Amino acid sequence: MILAILAIAALAVVMGALLGYSALRFRVEGNPIADQVDAILPQTQCAQCGYPGCRPYAEAVVKDDEAINKCVPGGEAVVLALADLLGRDAPSSDGAVEKPKCVAVIDPNECIGCTLCLQSCPVDAIMGAAKQLHGIIASECTGCELCLKPCPVECIHMKPVETTVRTWKWPFPANRPQAPAPSVAA
Ligand code: SF4
Ligand code: SF4
């Protein structure tokens, strides 16, 4: 009887050690579903969803069941891709018109080189130095509009990206890599 109890206790200790080791050895860093959601988001880090970047929004979608239609730059394509990935119903857009893709342009005659826009851009798409003319790298600009408000002379304007044969893409699937925006004629 005592032998049986000792045998069971030894088995329990071995199994417990094995489980502990596997938990450590095969632990997944972060949340793989949140990784997939984050991969679908456009990485503009523009905070238009109300979260301080794409990753925090991805985490909230997975962990807190946050709505999947809060990504403004992603638009309907991202909503459909997230609904597909998460097996959720795609909320209707209630006729909301999707904003055309735009990039920012600085009016060189007005810019005073205060660097405020440069500090606000989440993707470093603005070049410039103090008291020098600033310029936008159109291929890096995501059109998030975060640089508009800080500009004291309101010399930054959003210009729609022209859809050309070179830039037109089949709109689905949504989570394909974004091609760089073509430069916009001033
Ligand atoms: S340049 Fe302006 S609009 Fe473009 S990504 Fe930077 S902050 Fe956003
Ligand atoms: S915030 Fe406006 S004025 Fe200041 S550097 Fe940028 S574009 Fe120029």
Could you read off the pLDDT tens digit of each residue along the chain, which spans 186 residues? 888 888 999 989 998 888 888 877 776 666 788 999 999 998 888 888 889 889 999 999 998 889 999 888 888 889 999 999 999 988 866 555 566 788 999 999 999 999 999 999 988 999 999 999 999 999 888 888 889 999 999 999 999 988 777 766 665 555 444 554 445 445
Element (H, E) at 127: strand 126-127
The Cα 170–Cα 115 span in angstroms is 38
Q: How many domains does the chain have?
A: 2
What pLDDT is recorded for position 122? 85
CA distances from residue 99 to 13, 30, 73 in whole angstroms, order as listed: 61, 33, 8
Residue pair 140/125 in contact by the 8 Å Cβ criterion:
yes
Q: Could you tell me if 109 and 154 lie in one domain?
A: yes
User: What is the whole-number distance in angstroms between the Cα of residue 181 and the centre of ligand 1?
Assistant: 12
- How many angstroms separate the CA atoms of 150 and 154, rounded? 8
The answer to whether the CB of 106 falls within 8 A of the CB of 155 is yes
Beta bridge partners of 168: none
Q: Is residue 184 situated within a structural domain?
A: no
136 CB under 6 A from ligand 2? no
pLDDT for position 66: 92
CA of 137 to the centre of ligand 2 (A): 14
Which protein residue's CA is at the shortest distance from atom 2 of ligand 1? 147
Q: Are residues 104 and 148 in the same domain?
A: yes
Residue 85 CB less than 6 A away from ligand 2: no
CA of 105 to the centre of ligand 1 (A): 9
List, chain by chain if needed, residues with CB within 6 Å of any ligand 1 atom.
104, 120-121, 123, 125-126, 136, 141-147
Q: How far is the CA of 154 from the centre of ligand 2 (A)?
A: 8
| Residue 180 belongs to a domain | no
Q: Is residue 1 part of a domain?
A: no
Residue 145 lies inside a defined structural domain of this protein: yes
Per-residue model confidence (pLDDT) at position 20 = 85
Which residue lies with its CA nearest to atom 6 of ligand 2? Answer: 117
Structural domain boundaries enclosing 116: 100-161
Q: In CATH, what number is assigned to the domain containing residue 133?
A: 3.30.70.20
**Structural domain contains residue 75:** yes
Considering only CA atoms, which residue is closest to atom 6 of ligand 1?
121
CA distances from 120 to 1, 8, 69, 99 (A): 74, 64, 24, 21
Decide: 119 and 149 in contact? Cβ < 8 Å: no
Q: Give pLDDT, residue 96.
A: 56
**Total number of residues shown for the chain:** 186
